[in-house]
Amino acid sequence: MTPEQTKILWGYLGAVAYVLFAIGIALLFYKLGLSKKYTRKIVHILVGFEWVILSQLMGASYHFLIVCAVFTAALALSYFKHLLPAMSSDGENDPGTVYYGISMTVMASVCLFVPEMMLPFGIGVFCTSLGDGLAGVVGQLVKKHNPRIFRGKSLLGTLTNLVTSFGVAVAFKYIYAMESLTLLHCLYIAIFSAGLELIGAFGLDNLMITLGTAALTYALIAYPVTVGYVAPIIIAPYIVAAVIEKRALTAYGLLAALLLDLVTALAFGNLGFFVLISFFVGALAVDKVKKARRREDTITKKEGTRDLIQVIANGLVPMTMASIFIFWQHPAFLVGFVASLAEAFADTVASGMGVFSRTTYDIFKMRKCECGISGGVSLVGTLSSLIASALLSLYLFALGLGLSWIFFLISFAASFLGVVFDSFLGSLFQIKFKCSECGKITERHVHCDKPTTHVQGFAFFDNDVVNLLSGVFSAAVAVAVCFVVL
């Protein structure tokens, strides 16, 4: 038997012996009366060190893959047949350990074709075993001053994951002399690991952390340009958690928003992502201020959680501008992107802050109207929209256009004109109804628990259509003016 074959044999024997040792430790504590939720975490934490044995003795080989596949099959059998009680949780028997095995099997397969993935694979494994494992232990042990922040996950548990994952990445950097992996990269990996653990449900975090952090680590090392696009990657899990927790978007609305996030990140990198974040955070803040006013909304067609159509109405034009910019690096489309987002933001701010005005006018019909009705204009709302347009347009100075005020002015003017165009469409073309009970004009089919009567506008011309056309108008004006002046 050659030295290489001997090494492989020791790899098989060592892998089996270590797994039996980890399970034995968990069973021992289980027999001593330790709760299943803790004995399961013991296995979860210890099994990660299996990577050290396999990587040192087998390397990126099909032997490594065979061991992972066999253990995954054994874990699946144990899960479905309840063979190892110490590896299941009371009332929470999710297949997390099986997903753990699947993630290692997948990564072992990838390493056959990309051996350079072995060290990122190890970081992913230890972020899962130590980061996720210790986060669970802290979350279960520490009850006081440890608020639940998302679906039962605790603040201290998430922070534990972040700190531990950072330590894992730093340890790999120095132990394996990973010179291309900087300390800032380690922080990115830790933030991403903690975010994936936060949103992971039904044990899927064991799959997501291993694969996600391994992929991010490899990208940061092999493709340094990744740093310019890393913000939307590592922050995305926290956005998902916040959106779900606050019920800000429906499921399909969230998917559409993530698609917009992806396209924007590809086009403009980290800064483009922060433009989007400013828009969403600002819109949520305005909604909160509007609700604090305690004025019941009985006029607009939709309220509360934004759906897919609303996301498309506000996000399709910016996403189109970003998509064009990816293939045609002309500054006009960058300005169009910002102008369309600034218009949507300004319109949202105008609607939200308009509730503080005592009087609302329909300037296109030259008469007073109900506060909140589409087409209505108020002094507070108009001033707020001007400020919002200017604030979001300021991002142009950071998006690669230098300190040229002409682009800012184009975006500012185009976005504010879009808000005016929104009022024009809302006043003259948007569908409206009249309540037979109270006589109010509304955008709803039912008011005061009674069907309303159609009194104005086209049937298909609702607020979402108005928002979409206003975004098109702002983008078109911005792009056209840019082509004229450039």
Write the DSSP string, 446-472.
Answer: EETTEE-EEEES-TT--HHHHHHHHHH
Q: Are 100 and 206 in contact (CB under 8 A)?
A: yes
pLDDT reading at 470 higher than 90: yes
133 shares its domain with 25? yes
**What are 23's two structure tokens?**
């399970």
Mapped onto helix, strand or coil, the DSSP state of residue 52 is helix
Alpha-carbon span 114 to 217, nearest angstrom = 14
Task: Give the chain's domain count.
Answer: 2
State pLDDT tens for residues 419-435: 999 988 888 888 877 77
- End-of-domain residue from the set 183, 209, 244: 244
240 shares its domain with 293? no
Entry pTM: 0.85
239 shares its domain with 275? no
**What are 313's two structure tokens?**
């109405």
Q: Residue 456, CB half-sphere, CA atoms under 13 Å: how many?
A: 18
286 shares its domain with 307? yes
Q: How distant, in Å, are the alpha carbons of 14, 222, 238, 312 from that of 473?
A: 67, 42, 33, 15
209 shares its domain with 312? no
Q: What is the dihedral of CA 221, 136, 238, 193, to 10 degrees?
A: 0
Whole-angstrom Cα Rg for the chain: 28
365 shares its domain with 305? yes
Q: For residue 20, what pLDDT band results from cuts at 50, 70 and 90?
A: confident
Beta-bridge partners for 377: 361
291 shares its domain with 331? yes
Beta-bridge partners for 148: 154
316 shares its domain with 461? yes
Q: For residue 370, what pLDDT band results from cuts at 50, 70 and 90?
A: confident
What percentage of the chain's residues is helix, strand, coil (to nearest 5)? 70, 5, 20
233 shares its domain with 257? no
| Enclosing H/E stretch for 148 | strand 148-150
According to DSSP, residue 375 is labeled: T
Q: Which of 139, 181, 469 is nearest to 317 (CA)?
A: 469
Alpha-carbon span 41 to 89, nearest angstrom = 10
Q: Are 479 and 332 in contact (CB under 8 A)?
A: yes
74 shares its domain with 186? yes
- The whole-number average pLDDT for the span 276-303 is 70
Domain that residue 74 falls in = 3-244
Q: For residue 303, what pLDDT band results from cuts at 50, 70 and 90?
A: low
Match 């609303």 to its residue by tokens: 310
pLDDT reading at 299 higher than 60: no
What is the pLDDT of the chain when averaged over all its residues? 85
| Enclosing H/E stretch for 441 | strand 441-442
Share of the chain above pLDDT 70, in %: 91
Q: Are 36 and 89 in contact (CB under 8 A)?
A: yes
222 shares its domain with 301? no
Alpha-carbon span 200 to 213, nearest angstrom = 14
Q: How distant, in Å, are the alpha carbons of 117, 226, 347, 482 from that of 218?
A: 6, 10, 42, 40
318 shares its domain with 445? yes
Beta-bridge partners for 368: 361
**What are 184's two structure tokens?**
């800032």
- End-of-domain residue from the set 218, 244, 270: 244
Which of 88-92, 96-100, 123-127, 160-164 has the lowest average pLDDT? 88-92
Q: Are 158 and 144 in contact (CB under 8 A)?
A: no
State pLDDT tens for residues 377-416: 888 888 999 999 999 988 887 776 555 788 899 999 999 9
Please enumerate in sequence order all residues whose Cβ is within 8 A of that of 292, keeping only pairs 6 or more positions apart, or say none. Answer: none
Q: Are 188 and 238 in contact (CB under 8 A)?
A: no
pLDDT of amino acid 230: 93
- The whole-number average pLDDT for the span 186-211 is 91
Give alpha helix (H) positions in 293-330: 308-327
**What are 376's two structure tokens?**
């209505």
Q: Angle CA(75)–CA(76)–CA(82) in degrees, nearest 5? A: 85
- End-of-domain residue from the set 244, 266, 288: 244
